[in-house]
Amino acid sequence: MTVSDTTPTNTTTTLTPTTKGRTTMRAIQFTDYGQPAVLETVELPRPEAGPGEALVRVAGTTFNQVDATMRAGYLAEVFPVDLPHVPGIDVSGTVIAVGEGVPVDLVGRDVVAFLPMTGPGASAEYATVPAELIAPAPTSIPLADAAALASSALTAWQAIVEQADVRAGQRVLVNGAGGGVGGLAVQLAAAAGATVVATASARSRDAVAAQGASQVIDYTTTPVADAVTEPVDVVLNLVRTTPEETEALVSLVNPGGVFVSTTTPGVVPPGADLRTVSLFVRSDAAQLAHVVQLVDAGELRVDVSAHYPLEALATVHRLGEAGELRGKVVLTPTRHGDGDGDGDQP
């Protein structure tokens, strides 16, 4: 059933998309697990918004390391997906249709969301999004770049604010500050009044310092535990570490402090007065909306280091796995008549 623009805003029947004539879309998918080469550009039926969903015309999606790990099959048991699978857990774009149970006044709005890990992703021209996960997109940055906020900002917020409860006067170590999550975590900790020590390569040093780090350690030349000369109240570990490296990071935490990791779990030494947290980020529309407000208020900066056409996703995966990316990389669909263009190099 088609709903006209004059339909009352409390109507929740599916609205016909504003794009006319096309019933297919270009997308990137993988049919088998493997190397980046398994990612291929295909033409798929354009999805429809089901109950509780919105159909979003994708402006941007991103690359996350978990995308590569899932594509390689290493998380097949943890995050089982139906093959073929369209990756991409971050999405920004414009709502063009809604399903049953979703207010029609959402149509036409620019939004951002962190998608379910095991569902169809946003590496496509269109994506269906559970309406409960949607937050308004920031108005102060390009819509495509808003995708860089979704999973990264939520991870940083849940680590720094929820779990660590960082406060003024504390010392915080962010291990892996050169990535999308790390840069946002540095900003949140610095904004709370903490002294931030961060690790990053020489390529990311200036950006991390500009985000509020008082000390930037080049982990490629100096062991992190050796470079941190004073204990810290919080360690946020965003990189895969060996058991020995993890133990060394935990040893830096003051009594009463906390070790938060999105990767290798920490272990509390016998008799030590500290907490260890293994963080598994959750999608939270209210938190994401708050972060968007911080961006629009100029209190949080989104660090997008490169843009690529969506068709270059395999190349971006290769660069990401080689450690050649800094900050967040945004990929944008090339629509019919838009031309192809080249990606900005990282």
Residue 6 has pLDDT above 60, yes or no: no
In this structure, are residues 208 and 199 in contact, taking their beta carbons and an 8 Å threshold? no
Q: Is residue 317 part of a domain?
A: yes
Residue 15 has pLDDT above 70, yes or no: no
Structural domain count of the chain: 2
Residue 3 has pLDDT above 90, yes or no: no
Q: Which domain holds residue 251?
A: 152-278
Q: Is residue 269 domain-shared with residue 312, that is, in the same domain?
A: no
Domain boundary among 243, 278, 313: 278
Domain boundary among 243, 263, 278: 278
- Does residue 84 have a cis bond before it (omega within 30 degrees)? yes
- Mind listing the pLDDT tens digit for each residue in 171-199? 999 999 999 999 999 999 999 999 999 99
Residue 17 has pLDDT above 60, yes or no: no
- For 284, half-sphere exposure in the C-beta direction (CA atoms, 13 angstrom radius) is 16
Please report the pLDDT score of residue 26 as a whole number.
Answer: 97
Average pLDDT over residues 228-248: 96
Q: How many residues are there in the chain? A: 346
- Mind listing the pLDDT tens digit for each residue in 286-329? 999 999 999 999 999 999 999 999 999 999 999 999 989 988 99
pLDDT band at residue 22 using 50, 70 and 90 as cut-offs: confident
Spatial distance between the Cα atoms of 310 and 316, rounded to a whole number of angstroms: 9
CATH number, residue 190? 3.90.180.10
Q: Is residue 53 domain-shared with residue 123, that is, in the same domain?
A: yes
CB within 8 A of 61, min separation 6: which ones? Answer: 88, 90, 91, 92, 121, 122, 123, 147, 310, 330, 331
Spatial distance between the Cα atoms of 255 and 330, rounded to a whole number of angstroms: 40
Beta bridge partners of 307: 330
Q: Is residue 189 domain-shared with residue 140, that is, in the same domain?
A: no
Residue 242 has pLDDT above 90, yes or no: yes
Q: Is residue 84 domain-shared with residue 172, that is, in the same domain?
A: no
Please report the pLDDT score of residue 127 as a whole number.
Answer: 98
Please report the pLDDT score of residue 173 as a whole number.
Answer: 98
pLDDT band at residue 16 using 50, 70 and 90 as cut-offs: very low
Please report the pLDDT score of residue 21 as a whole number.
Answer: 58
The mean predicted confidence, pLDDT, of the chain is: 91
Spatial distance between the Cα atoms of 173 and 136, rounded to a whole number of angstroms: 31
Q: Is residue 116 part of a domain?
A: yes
Whose tokens are 């060394």? That residue is 248
- Mind listing the pLDDT tens digit for each residue in 42-51? 999 999 999 9
pLDDT band at residue 19 using 50, 70 and 90 as cut-offs: very low
Q: Is residue 3 part of a domain?
A: no
**Percentage, residues of the chain above pLDDT 70:** 90
Q: Is residue 144 domain-shared with residue 159, that is, in the same domain?
A: no
Average pLDDT over residues 325-340: 76
Q: Is residue 219 domain-shared with residue 246, that is, in the same domain?
A: yes
| Nearest C-alpha neighbor of 74 from the set 313, 321, 328, 341 | 321
Please report the pLDDT score of residue 338 as a whole number.
Answer: 40
Q: Is residue 220 domain-shared with residue 134, that is, in the same domain?
A: no
Spatial distance between the Cα atoms of 276 and 258, rounded to a whole number of angstroms: 6
Q: Is residue 248 domain-shared with residue 307, that is, in the same domain?
A: no
Residue 137 has pLDDT above 90, yes or no: yes
Please report the pLDDT score of residue 342 as a whole number.
Answer: 39
Residue 66 has pLDDT above 90, yes or no: yes
